[in-house]
């Protein structure tokens, strides 16, 4: 059962940016208004060398969030004990302000597919994912945040909506949630749903962090929009609008700019972070008024 | 959960298979092309990982052929763990047995060199000994020394000029490769792996040290393989590369 006295994250309610090694020197010189950084756990599981050395420097100066890509919380098999051990080792030496993973799977019988693959939302998958979250939180000795996926399709066998499913997971395991605003927009557009209705149904009280990223626009064979969560573009205007809607419902919250491909120079990401910071400040001001 | 993920996985890796049943677009149609998003993410993502790991192989065979080769490899040998900096251990052996590229006989060894450079980059840090600590050893005891080597050290042996092929494709104004066999030593003086050609006998000498031989035994072995083996030259390379991390004498510990 959730223990309300345990904080889900100690990240500041301020903008952060996904850390990329090519920005290391810029960040050390002057991080501007960027208050924290997020790393992908699996990129820092080598034994040493420059990646680990730079991460140590970064973490000496800034709060760091560890975001796992490859644990496969949504996998139907058991979690990889070796990978859990590696995550624990990373969290133990880095003592990050937050740990998060995805509602997705990526490995099957020893093969890692390097993508966040979807699962149906049923009583059976709920029980299995809840067990995996329990196991992860126990192994790491800390609560985790679970991120909503971007969806391209739905499972006919699903019996619950995604916000319901995530809310029930949080209730059963005490985990927090990471709300990716871009993923809400991508999924709503792709599946012909309302993004605002999704937000209204989302268990916002459990949200410890927001993500914002760019997507790529395509169409399916029926001419319906098909947005791909590619993290290789600037954040689009509708997603900024949805961020305002999210802050209006949620209040202040750590918010991350994600860019994983076609990485622009540091000032471009810093400017996106500053914009997210202004959206956050507006929400705080409105709440105080 | 049902047998779903096994079927999903098989269909993601094999575009010739139909997409799994029971998936739709949320608007009443079957998922159709939407399933291809996952197929594409997996193939493109893993190909990018291999491009990052094997840039010289990509340059040697060209972008299109490289993508096609990766497409075969990643379906046959998907990553065994989410640590993608390790993906591609099996790529050199795969290339060695890949019939359509069999005429490029040096390719597998160049891939082994690129893999070793990447392994060196991510290897554990270790403090090197100071060169003075070797020169302080009494001459009559030098042969008894046991040298510990840095975790970032790698040696790749080849019948082909793999160092020169690698440098010709990565370093500006590097000389054109000549048809000679090359053994390559990779050290990591700080954070950047530094590949260089080993002189004759060097690879055998380092292999003997790694198996725990004393300096004297390793040097003798190397001289048997390569009569012009120059111990001083190889030790200087190792010291300059911060690749010796311990030097112990039996009985009295550190040199």
Phi-psi region of A265 (alpha: psi -120 to 50; beta: other; left: phi over 0): beta
Nearest CA in chain A to B76: A111
In chain B, % of residues over pLDDT 90:
92
Which has the minimum average pLDDT: A225-234, B61-70, B111-120, B150-159?
A: A225-234
Which chain B residues are within 8 Å of A45, Cβ to Cβ?
A: 83, 85
Round to whole Å and give the CA distance between A16 and A56. 17
* Average pLDDT of span A38-62: 98
* A130 in contact with chain B, both atoms CB, cutoff 8 A: no
CB–CB contact B26 A153 (8 Å)? yes
Nearest to B1 among A117, A124, A220 (CB): A124
Round to whole Å and give the CA distance between A286 and B62. 57
Instruction: Please state the pTM of the whole predicted model.
Output: 0.95
Distances (CA, A) of B184 to A242, A270, B117, B165, B202: 55, 43, 10, 12, 9
For chain A, the average pLDDT equals: 96
Round to whole Å and give the CA distance between B206 and B204. 6
The residues, ordered by sequence, that sit 6+ positions from B22 with a Cβ below 8 Å of its Cβ are A155, A156, A157
Residue pLDDT, tens place only, B70-86 = 999 999 999 999 999 99
Distances (CA, A) of A225 to A185, A186, A191, A199, A217: 12, 10, 9, 21, 7
Round to whole Å and give the CA distance between A32 and A265. 14
Four-residue CA torsion sign, A47, B121, B186, B59: positive
Residue A46's nearest CA partner among B48, B83, B161 is: B83
What are the tokens at B227?
């009569």
* B239 in contact with chain A, both atoms CB, cutoff 8 A: no
Residue pLDDT, tens place only, B194-252 = 999 999 999 999 999 999 999 999 999 999 999 999 999 999 999 999 999 999 998 76
* Average pLDDT of span A135-144: 98
The residues, ordered by sequence, that sit 6+ positions from B169 with a Cβ below 8 Å of its Cβ are B56, B59, B60
* Burial tier of B79 (Cβ tally within 10 Å: 0-12, 13-18, 19+): buried
pLDDT score for A289: 79
What are the tokens at A141?
């000795």
Residue A225 has pLDDT above 90, yes or no: yes
Residue B2 has pLDDT above 50, yes or no: no
Query: Domain A15-288, what architecture?
Result: Alpha-Beta Barrel (3.20)
* B166 in contact with chain A, both atoms CB, cutoff 8 A: no
What are the tokens at B136?
């302080």
pLDDT score for A9: 87
Q: Which residues pair with A37 in a beta bridge?
A: A17, A64
* Average pLDDT of span A91-100: 97
What are the tokens at A266?
């540091």
Q: Check: CB of residue A184 under 8 Å from CB of residue A243.
A: no
Round to whole Å and give the CA distance between A185 and A46. 35
Backbone angles phi, psi at A158, to 5 degrees: -60, 140
DSSP string, B141-171: GGGG-EEEE-TT-EEEEESS-HHHHHHHTTS
pLDDT band at B254 (very low <50, low <70, confident <90, very high): low
CB–CB contact B34 A220 (8 Å)? yes
Q: Check: CB of residue A19 under 8 Å from CB of residue A63.
A: no
pLDDT band at B1 (very low <50, low <70, confident <90, very high): very low
Q: DSSP 3-state assignment of A137?
A: helix
Q: DSSP 3-state assignment of A147?
A: strand
Which chain B residues are within 8 Å of A121, Cβ to Cβ?
A: none
For chain B, the average pLDDT equals: 95
Round to whole Å and give the CA distance between B26 and A192. 7
Which chain A residues are within 8 Å of B45, Cβ to Cβ?
A: 114-115
Residue pLDDT, tens place only, B159-188 = 999 999 999 999 999 999 999 999 999 999
Identify the residue among B34, B49, B53, B153 best suited for mutation to test binding to A, counting A beta carbons within 10 A and taking the highest: B34
* Average pLDDT of span B117-127: 98
Residue B253 has pLDDT above 60, yes or no: no
pLDDT band at A1 (very low <50, low <70, confident <90, very high): very low
* A76 in contact with chain B, both atoms CB, cutoff 8 A: yes
Residue pLDDT, tens place only, A122-132 = 999 999 999 99
Nearest to A115 among B42, B80, B124 (CB): B42
pLDDT score for A3: 53
Residues 4-23 of B with CB under 8 A from A: 4-6, 8-9, 12-13, 22-23
């Amino acid at each position: 059962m959730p223990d309300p006295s345990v904080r889900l994250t100690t990240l500041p309610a301020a903008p952060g940016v996904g850390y990329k090694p090519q920005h290391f020197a810029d960040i050390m010189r002057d991080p501007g208004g960027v208050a924290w950084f997020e790393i992908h756990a699996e990129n820092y599981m080598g034994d040493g060398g420059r990646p680990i050395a730079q991460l140590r420097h970064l973490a000496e100066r800034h709060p760091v969030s560890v975001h796992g890509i490859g644990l496969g919380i949504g996998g139907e098999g058991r979690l990889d004990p070796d990978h859990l051990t590696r995550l624990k080792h990373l969290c133990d030496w880095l003592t990050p302000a937050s740990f998060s993973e995805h509602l997705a799977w990526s490995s099957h019988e020893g093969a890692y597919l390097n993508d966040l693959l979807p699962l149906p939302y049923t009583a059976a998958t709920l029980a299995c994912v809840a067990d995996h979250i329990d196991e992860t939180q126990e192994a790491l000795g800390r609560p985790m945040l679970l991120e909503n996926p971007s969806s391209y399709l739905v499972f006919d066998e699903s019996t619950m909506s995604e916000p319901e499913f995530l809310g029930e997971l949080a209730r059963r395991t005490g985990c927090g949630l990471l709300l990716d605003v871009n993923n809400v927009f991508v999924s709503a557009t792709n599946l012909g749903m309302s993004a605002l209705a999704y937000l209204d149904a989302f268990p916002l009280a459990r949200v410890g962090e927001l993500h914002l990223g760019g997507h790529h626009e395509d169409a399916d064979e029926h001419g319906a929009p098909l947005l791909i969560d590619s993290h290789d573009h600037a954040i689009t205007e509708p997603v900024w609008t949805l961020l305002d809607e999210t802050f209006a419902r949620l209040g202040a919250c750590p918010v991350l700019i994600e860019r994983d491909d076609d990485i622009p120079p540091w000032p471009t990401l810093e400017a996106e972070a500053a914009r997210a910071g202004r959206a956050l400040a507006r929400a705080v001001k409105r709440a105080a008024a | 959960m049902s047998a779903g993920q096994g079927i999903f996985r098989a269909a993601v890796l094999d575009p010739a298979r139909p997409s799994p049943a029971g998936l739709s677009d949320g608007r009443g149609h079957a998922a159709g092309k939407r399933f291809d998003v996952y197929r594409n993410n997996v193939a493109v993502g893993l190909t990018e990982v291999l491009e990052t790991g094997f840039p010289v192989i990509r340059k040697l065979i060209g972008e299109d052929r490289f993508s096609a080769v990766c497409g075969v490899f990643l379906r046959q040998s998907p990553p065994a763990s989410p640590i993608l900096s390790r993906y591609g251990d099996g790529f050199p052996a795969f290339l060695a047995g890949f019939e359509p590229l069999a005429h490029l006989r040096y390719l597998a060894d160049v891939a082994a060199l690129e893999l070793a450079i990447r392994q060196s980059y991510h290897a554990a840090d270790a403090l090197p000994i100071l060169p003075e600590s070797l020169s302080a050893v009494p001459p009559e005891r030098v042969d008894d020394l046991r040298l510990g080597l840095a975790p970032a050290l790698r040696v790749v042996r080849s019948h082909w000029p793999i160092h020169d092929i690698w440098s010709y494709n990565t370093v500006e104004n590097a000389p054109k490769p000549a048809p000679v066999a090359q053994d390559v030593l990779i050290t990591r003086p700080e954070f950047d792996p530094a590949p260089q050609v080993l002189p004759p006998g060097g690879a055998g000498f380092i292999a003997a040290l790694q198996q725990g031989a004393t300096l004297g035994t390793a040097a003798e072995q190397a001289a048997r393989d390569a009569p012009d083996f120059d111990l001083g030259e190889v030790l200087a390379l190792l010291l300059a590369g911060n690749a010796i991390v311990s030097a112990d004498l039996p009985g009295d510990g550190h040199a």
